């Protein structure tokens, strides 16, 4: 009877040692296995779309780096275009002198609206690229397809900017000839919009939208 008790005790002691050893091994494996880095979820697509605004009041205390602008425009290049021709180009003013020079060419109204925006971009498209084949327009829209592709690219830009935490304003009132001279833009490109990039200083109201049935017809 005494011998049985000893064997039972030895068995329990052995099992306890196995459990302790297993716990140590698990701990070692966990400490050696690379853990996924903590990630902060960015805004959803719906949030990006519904919080984007045409901002006319910027926080002048905040800046944007060239690296951030490069990231923005690199992602913008994913925008679709006619036969993937990618006709849109951007001329980026970031130095205070260049930003001020652009401000003088967009009219007093726009100049007031973009005070405090650290970046101004001139958007252009290359002529006879979108909508053309062998130098001939493929249909009656002609160069309108270049403007179309430019608009698609700019739409990508403002949404990506919002996803990155930036704000924008697309401006069509500008002196295209003076901008062409300022940035040495070739005649083979059409100057389109000037786009401001910065941080909103206040939360603007959401403008109303037309009823869906006014803009959509189902058949």
- Show me where the domains of the chain are located: 1-33, 45-198
Mean pLDDT, the chain, as a whole number? 88
Give the residue, 9 or 117, on which the prediction is more confident. Answer: 117
Indicate the burial class of 122 (C-beta count within 10 angstroms; 0-12, 13-18, 19 or more): buried
Confidence of residue 41 (pLDDT cuts 50, 70, 90): confident
pTM of the model: 0.81
What proportion of the chain, given as a percentage, has pLDDT over 70?
Answer: 82
Which of 7-16, 76-85, 115-124, 177-186 has the least mean pLDDT?
7-16
Spell out the SS3 assignment of the chain: CHHHHHHHHHHHHHHHHHHHHHHHHHHHHHHHCCCCCCCCCCCCHHHHHHHCCECCCECCCCCCCHHHHHHHHHHHCCCCCHHHCCCEEEEEECCHHHHHHHHCCCHHHHHHHCCCCCEEEEEEEECCCCCEECCEECCCCCCHHHHHHHHHHHHHHHHHHHHCCCEEEEECCCCHHHHHHHHCCCCCEEEEEEEEEECECCCCCCCCCCCHHHHCCCC
Confidence of residue 40 (pLDDT cuts 50, 70, 90): low
Q: What is the pLDDT of residue 42?
A: 86
To which CATH superfamily is domain 45-198 assigned? NADH Oxidase (3.40.109.10)
Q: Are 132 and 104 in contact (CB under 8 A)?
A: no
Angle 60-65-69 from CA coordinates, rounded to 5°: 105
Judge whether residue 32 has pLDDT over 50: no
Judge whether residue 7 has pLDDT over 80: no
What proportion of the chain, given as a percentage, has pLDDT over 90?
Answer: 81
């Amino acid at each position: 009877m005494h011998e049985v008790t000893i064997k039972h005790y030895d068995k329990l002691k052995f099992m306890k040692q196995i459990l302790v050893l297993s716990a140590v091994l698990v701990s070692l494996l966990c400490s050696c296995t690379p853990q996924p880095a903590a990630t902060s979820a960015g805004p959803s697509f719906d949030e990006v779309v519904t919080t984007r605004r045409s901002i006319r009041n910027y926080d002048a205390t905040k800046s944007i780096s060239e690296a951030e602008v490069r990231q923005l425009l690199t992602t913008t290049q994913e925008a679709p275009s006619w036969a993937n021709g990618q006709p849109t180009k951007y001329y980026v003013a970031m130095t205070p002198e260049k930003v001020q020079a652009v401000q003088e060419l967009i009219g007093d109204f726009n100049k007031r609206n973009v005070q405090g925006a650290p970046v101004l971009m001139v958007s252009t498209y290359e002529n006879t690229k979108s909508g053309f084949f062998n130098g001939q327009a493929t249909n009656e829209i002609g160069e309108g397809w270049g403007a179309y592709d430019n608009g698609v690219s700019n739409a990508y830009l403002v949404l990506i900017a919002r996803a990155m935490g930036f704000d924008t304003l697309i401006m069509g009132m500008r002196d295209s000839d003076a901008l062409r001279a300022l940035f040495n833009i070739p005649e083979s490109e059409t100057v389109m919009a000037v786009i401001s990039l910065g941080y909103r200083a206040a939360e603007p109201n959401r403008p109303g939208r037309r009823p869906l049935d006014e803009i959509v017809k189902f058949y």
